[in-house]
Structure 1
């Protein structure tokens, strides 16, 4: 707790820094700046979606130029998660690559371009498509600059093992291409292309980055706290995870353009997805899910990984229903929300919590506030997945899910947003 009577001064160059919240403190470390921007986008996206659902429930007329559900898919995936990636990669990346630390100030132009792009795109999605295309183009330029810089860092590094950083840089560059494609789809007023781009962004940018980072960091965190656990995962696990995500992306894109699909192909999907679901859930048990429940931060990390297996299992069930009914019956958006809110959302929550604590001079643990928010997040995922499968209760469950999501993400953003704007309590740089 900060002492209001003390104006503690920590020397950073020639300018003293007070213990009060200051905008300039965001420039003390890359994770501060990028995470703060990500938290802003996350909170704004959550409030926007809650407001839109409430307006729909009250039957208020709304007519954005892009379907609201598609705006939701775009914002709740690509609007904030890449910002959290940036904070993580430019904080942990130099250490992985044994390169000098990156200054937050040097990232500011690209991040400012990206944030400006989202502001313009957000207005354009509701008002004018060409404005939305311009904004998305700025987003793509900002993300491309960040991705190319990280790729250059990987290229310049002399460390012997660059498997994870190369894969992350490849996914980031893929994401840059996807963002430019989204800008083109908006300029052409092509909603099918826009939907395709969103699916590619989820499966070929967001999910692969999380998979690679999980593969590198989760066993390290686990083994450092529970000695009986493995300190590494073999690379075949990473190959299977990335192959799974590539396959699911191809299936998702195919479903947008080829409908209905032959039952034989659907049953092949069921076989592959069921096998992969069992593998992922088995790995979650093998690599410490049960043991990690004793340690909150590990439980949060492993809980997100469990949702990956659940999402694949739901996909298998959904495709089985489609195969048996000539694509007439399915689980709808349940598998996608298990993936996006469950795996991506919970993993993001846990990783950003860990980085914010460890690099903020605080104990690397989940206190009562964060632990409570995490379980509300789990409830939000369950409610949203249930809403996709229970048509009669869909609206009520969805409203409950978005309310829980807003509580979690706004509470989380306010808590860590306060940390990002104040110096480390231990007096060290960063």
Structure 2
């Protein structure tokens, strides 16, 4: 059975699911449980609320300090996506090092702090929101860093550093908004998107080839060591090109470089050949959005498309797709279940994939229907994460079915 530590057996381990469900309450037994569930529920609620606000629904707007656009950007990055990242890293950190990560009362306190941050961003004043929401990511980063240091796991120090940068980006966004600098606060949210995209590039580069070859013995997957060595530097330059004010031609060139390098990797992985294996094609599809997102970013730098199109290629296509793929796969493995996607998982993958196409491709085909595309994409997104929340809530709240801890 494959779990986050990247030490899988050949093929999925089949475990019986018949019989009475496991007894007890295990929501705080390991980091992925509360943050995957809370993140999925919040993803559905927040996008439904945003779609209503964007459509002009009366009385739907944050009562606190953030204007609607900034609330949407901040909460999808530092509310939803950050929760998933923390849940993943807490679970992976224990597996990578053998050292404990927050569980039990400590994990529950961190989760309540995250929930309080969501409420503060909707209802609270700027100062209250900054103190409450700004505390969560530094505490999570401290816990994750401590685990890596105690385990001597230097290979993953860059992930801890990236989590600290994500915490800094959140604090910067909150501080800039409190100072009346809404545009700069949005730029800090974009920095958060870039950091989480880098998580996907690095972690996906480790696990997707391995998951594929383990699930399909004999699968011919091409990896190019020279390309792999430059993927992260090229991606970092491409992501910075979307953040730092540069001449349009230079931003486009750096974005194109990242697109080409990642495109070579994606083509070599041959995701199109994995067949009807949803646990695999969902990951390949999400990673496949990366070169397209960088191409669109370059086109936006030259004024060929709206910048929001490229932004949502990253956020809905890459991050949304990678998140729904990983929170199903890792939750199956870490609750002791068979690594196989059922109808619910497959439906969730298709719905989030449809949301990406509607949000990114739709406005390119019919710009006049922009509002319709947004509402259609929002409906698919909400449905996809709602399916996950409904199906996985009892799995995440109950002990592992194989009797193991976690």
**Greater CA radius of gyration, 1 or 2?**
1
Alpha-carbon distance between aligned partners in 2 of 1:179 and 1:236, rounded to the nearest angstrom: 35
Residue 75 of structure 2 corresponds to which residue in structure 1?
Answer: 75
Unaligned runs of 5+ in 1: 11-16, 19-23, 125-130, 256-260, 323-328
Residue 404 of structure 1 corresponds to which residue in structure 2?
Answer: 380
Pair 1:187 & 2:178 matched: yes
Residue 13 of structure 1 corresponds to which residue in structure 2?
Answer: none
Residue 307 of structure 1 corresponds to which residue in structure 2?
Answer: 289
Cα deviation digits, residues 365-408 of structure 1 (max 9, x gap): 21122112211221111111134433211111111111111111
Cα deviation digits, residues 121-152 of structure 1 (max 9, x gap): 1223xxxxxx1342233222121111012112
Residue 14 of structure 2 corresponds to which residue in structure 1?
Answer: none
Residue 123 of structure 2 corresponds to which residue in structure 1?
Answer: 123
TM-score, with length taken from structure 2: 0.87
Residue 240 of structure 1 corresponds to which residue in structure 2?
Answer: 230
Query: Do the aligned residues in 1 keep the contact of 2:113 with 2:136 (CA within 8 Å)?
Result: yes
| Inter-CA distance 356–99: structure 2 relative to 1 (3 Å threshold) | same
Residue 335 of structure 2 corresponds to which residue in structure 1?
Answer: 360
Pick from 194, 197, 200 the counterpart of residue 191 of structure 2: 200
Pair 1:145 & 2:120 matched: no
TM-score, with length taken from structure 1: 0.82
Which shows bigger deviation, 136-145 or 62-71? 62-71
Pair 1:378 & 2:353 matched: yes
Cα deviation digits, residues 20-64 of structure 1 (max 9, x gap): xxxx4212222212222222322221221232234x1x6x47665
Query: Do the aligned residues in 1 keep the contact of 2:43 with 2:382 (CA within 8 Å)?
Result: no
Cα deviation digits, residues 319-341 of structure 1 (max 9, x gap): 33x2xxxxxx5333111111110
Cα offset for 1:409?
Answer: 1.3
Pair 1:38 & 2:14 matched: no
Residue 26 of structure 1 corresponds to which residue in structure 2?
Answer: 27
Pair 1:339 & 2:314 matched: yes
Query: Do the aligned residues in 1 keep the contact of 2:130 with 2:174 (CA within 8 Å)?
Result: yes
| Inter-CA distance 2–63: structure 2 relative to 1 (3 Å threshold) | same
| Inter-CA distance 62–141: structure 2 relative to 1 (3 Å threshold) | closer
Alpha-carbon distance between aligned partners in 2 of 1:333 and 1:189, rounded to the nearest angstrom: 22
| Inter-CA distance 185–239: structure 2 relative to 1 (3 Å threshold) | farther
Query: Do the aligned residues in 1 keep the contact of 2:296 with 2:305 (CA within 8 Å)?
Result: no
Query: Do the aligned residues in 1 keep the contact of 2:101 with 2:143 (CA within 8 Å)?
Result: no
Query: How well do the aligned residues superpose, as a CA RMSD in angstroms?
Result: 2.6
Alpha-carbon distance between aligned partners in 2 of 1:410 and 1:184, rounded to the nearest angstrom: 32
Q: Quick one: higher RCO (CA 8 Å, sep 6+), 1 or 2?
A: 2
Query: Do the aligned residues in 1 keep the contact of 2:28 with 2:107 (CA within 8 Å)?
Result: no
Count of matched residue pairs: 387
Alpha-carbon distance between aligned partners in 2 of 1:353 and 1:230, rounded to the nearest angstrom: 25
Q: 1:86 aligns to what SS in structure 2?
A: helix
Pair 1:158 & 2:152 matched: yes
